[in-house]
Every structure is written in C-alpha cells, then in structure tokens.
Chain A
Amino acid sequence: MGDHLFEFLLRQGDNTLILSHRISEWCGHAPIIEEDIALANIALDLLGQTQMWLGLAAEVEGAGRSADDLAMLRDAWDFRNSILVERPNGDFGQTMMRQFLFDAYHVELLNKLVNSADERIAAIAAKSLKEVEYHVERSASTVIALGDGSEESHARMQAALDDQWTFAGELFETDAGDHALNDAGIAPLPSSLRVGFEVRAMAVLGDATLIIPETTFAHSGGRSGKRHSEHLGHLLTQMQWLQRAYPGATW
C-alpha cells in the first residue's frame, strides 16, 4: 500500500508541478495584463498544491527526501504527471483549452478526495478544491468566450481542442494501484471520474460552439512513467538547472 500511496501522491504533485511550471512561462507574455495576473494566480495555486502533495509524498516515502528533492532531483522517467500537462503552451487558446480539460478533471477528483480515508489527503484536497473550483470557472468561461467569439478565435479553439483531446484520456487511466487505493477508501478510481468530466466538458464545449473529436484514442505513458513526451526532459533541464549545477547548495 505504501508504494501505491507514494505513486498516487507523485501523480498529484507532478501534475500540479508541471502544469504550474507551464503556466508560469506565460508570466510577462500574456495577451493582456488582466490575463497575465490571472494566469499567475493559477500557477501559484498549483505550486502551493505541489508543495503539499510532494511534501506528503516525501513523508510517506520516509527516505529523507523533501518536496524540493522530489521536484528538482528526479529525472524524467520518475515523473508521474500525465502527458497533457507537460505539453508546450502553444498559443493562448491551447493553454486555456489544456487548462480547462485539466481543471474539469481536477475538480471531479478533488470532490472525491475530500472524503478520503486518509485525513492528510482529505485536508490537502479540501484546500485545493476551493482554488480549483475557481480555476474551472475561469477557464470554462474563457474557453466559451473564445470558442464563441470571433471567427479566428473559434477556429483556434477548435484546433486546440482537436489537438488536446486525445491527451485528456490519460487522466482517467486506472491501474492496479488505483484499485488498491480505491478499496482502502483513499482515492477514487480515475475511471469513475470520467462521467462527471464529460458532462461538464460537453456543456462547456457546447456553449463554446466547439465539436469534440470523434475518437476514443488516448495517449498514455505519463502517469505510469513508461513513456513521457520529449518535452518533459527540456522542461526539467530548466526547472532543475540550479539544483543540478550546484549540488547541495542552499538557496
């Protein structure tokens, strides 16, 4: 159970860490100041969640590692984030589409995790849920506005959806570890979150006048760590640069 729990916590913390990192790349480059500030808020929320998830992961592991060690000193194959969040930002529409798809999953997950049998997880989920409820509200309204906006914004959002949709499926991938945690009342089966996700996605994407691609294919390999995309390694070379270049230094 310990291994499953550790893996689960890494999956949470790595998703929030990598997505936060991607969003933070927008800082100073967003389409308008108000969006710049809003994106930074989301990145900061996710970063705070990362500290909690990876902090607990380190505690559960009991190997003397810290949240920072986990973030800064693992190589790509040890990361457990889904591929969706490591993908490059693309244009603002692609970033917001990725954000909405992740938020719509995230809010379903946290809604279940607040009742986790593990009180530490329930506490992190309760704090995160308040933040993520706002994230999904904001990303949904942006996706709707741009989807149902100008011809150009509509076309870009449809392209973003076509591009991202097959990466959302991995969020619901379910393995033996997930079953073990579900049996112990610690975490829901990811597959069980799909219905709630789809209900929300269909409503929002419908309002956005966008068409969900007709495919059941889903990329995978991130949450299992078997095969990340090439992008993750490049992200890590930046994120981990100082810790790698000056081992043991305190900052």
Chain B
Amino acid sequence: MSDQNTNPRTEWPLWEIFIRGQHGMSHRHVGSLHAPDAEMAIKNARDVYTRRNEGVSIWVVEAEKITASSPSDKGPMYEPSQSKVYRHPTFFDIPDDVGAM
C-alpha cells in the first residue's frame, strides 16, 4: 500500500451509463454506477443495466466530465422556441381533400 499511485480509501468514480436498445433508437441515459476505470465501467454497465436484455451498445462517461446546462438559464435556453409554432406540422391547415401529407 506504499507506492505513490496507491491512495487507499478512495471511492471508485461515478460513471453515467447510456444504452442503445434493440430497436435502433439513440443511446439513452439509464443510470449510473461506480467503476475504477472506463473499461470496468462498461463491464459493470453490462452486468448492472442489461440484465433484462435491454441493450446492444453501451456508452460510459465519467460523471464529473459532463457539462450540464444550468437550471437558472431555463427561460432563455428553452422558452424562445415555444413561440416558433410554425416549426411543427400541426401549425398548417391542409384540407382533407389534399390527402396524406
């Protein structure tokens, strides 16, 4: 326990786990876990988060490496898009006679 690399009583870092399921959807955050490094994090994710056949691909990211938006920015970040209703197809009235569009 004396070499410099060894600092006993250090908790394994926390990793965020993202899994892509069977159906071609994008990776989705499923939870977190602890692991000493990225390779073990992937193995642990396989054992913890795919016990019920949930996934075909795993991403792991060390939790502290994630940059998150700040909740106080919620207004400026997300509200401006609320008024751009024309971005949604339901904004436009197309007569039924035109058929599927």
Give A contacts to B, CB under 8 Å: 32-34, 37-38, 41, 134, 137-138, 141, 145, 149-152
> Does B91 reach chain A (CB closer than 8 Å)?
no
Contact call A38/B43, Cβ cutoff below 8 A: yes
Given contacts A32-B34, A141-B40, A145-B36, contact A150 B3 (CB under 8 A): yes
Give B contacts to A, CB under 8 Å: 1-3, 6, 8, 12, 33-36, 39-40, 43-44, 46-48, 51
Contact call A151/B48, Cβ cutoff below 8 A: no
Query: Can you report 13 residue pairs joining A to B where beta carbons are below 8 Å apart?
Result: A32-B12, A34-B34, A34-B35, A34-B47, A37-B47, A37-B51, A38-B43, A38-B44, A41-B51, A145-B40, A150-B1, A150-B8, A151-B1
Least distance between A67 CB and chain B CB atoms (Å): 24
Q: Which residues of B contact A149 (CB under 8 A)?
A: 6
Q: Which single residue of chain A is at the shortest CB-CB distance from B44?
A: A34
Q: Which single residue of chain B is at the shortest CB-CB distance from A137?
A: B43
Q: Which residues of A contact B1 (CB under 8 A)?
A: 150-152
- A141–B6 Cα distance when bound, in Å, is 19
Least distance between A164 CB and chain B CB atoms (Å): 22
Report which residue of A34, A41, A150, A152 has the largest number of chain B beta carbons within 10 angstroms of its beta carbon.
A34
Q: Which residues of A contact B35 (CB under 8 A)?
A: 34
Least distance between B27 CB and chain A CB atoms (Å): 20
- A151–B34 Cα distance when bound, in Å, is 23
Q: Which single residue of chain A is at the shortest CB-CB distance from B50?
A: A41
Smallest CB-CB A-B distances: 8 pairs? A38-B47, A34-B44, A150-B6, A41-B47, A37-B47, A37-B48, A150-B1, A138-B43
Q: Which single residue of chain B is at the shortest CB-CB distance from A150?
A: B6
Contact call B39/A141, Cβ cutoff below 8 A: yes
Assuming A34-B35, A145-B36, what are 4 further A-B pairs, CB within 8 angstroms? A34-B44, A38-B44, A41-B47, A41-B51
Q: Which residues of A contact B40 (CB under 8 A)?
A: 141, 145
Q: Which residues of B contact A37 (CB under 8 A)?
A: 44, 47-48, 51
Contact call B48/A34, Cβ cutoff below 8 A: yes
Q: Which residues of A contact B3 (CB under 8 A)?
A: 150-151
- A137–B51 Cα distance when bound, in Å, is 17
Given contacts A32-B12, A32-B34, A34-B33, contact A151 B44 (CB under 8 A): no
Least distance between B40 CB and chain A CB atoms (Å): 7
Q: Which residues of B contact A138 (CB under 8 A)?
A: 43
Contact call B2/A151, Cβ cutoff below 8 A: yes
- A32–B39 Cα distance when bound, in Å, is 17
Q: Which single residue of chain A is at the shortest CB-CB distance from B49?
A: A37
Q: Which residues of A contact B48 (CB under 8 A)?
A: 34, 37
- A203–B51 Cα distance when bound, in Å, is 30
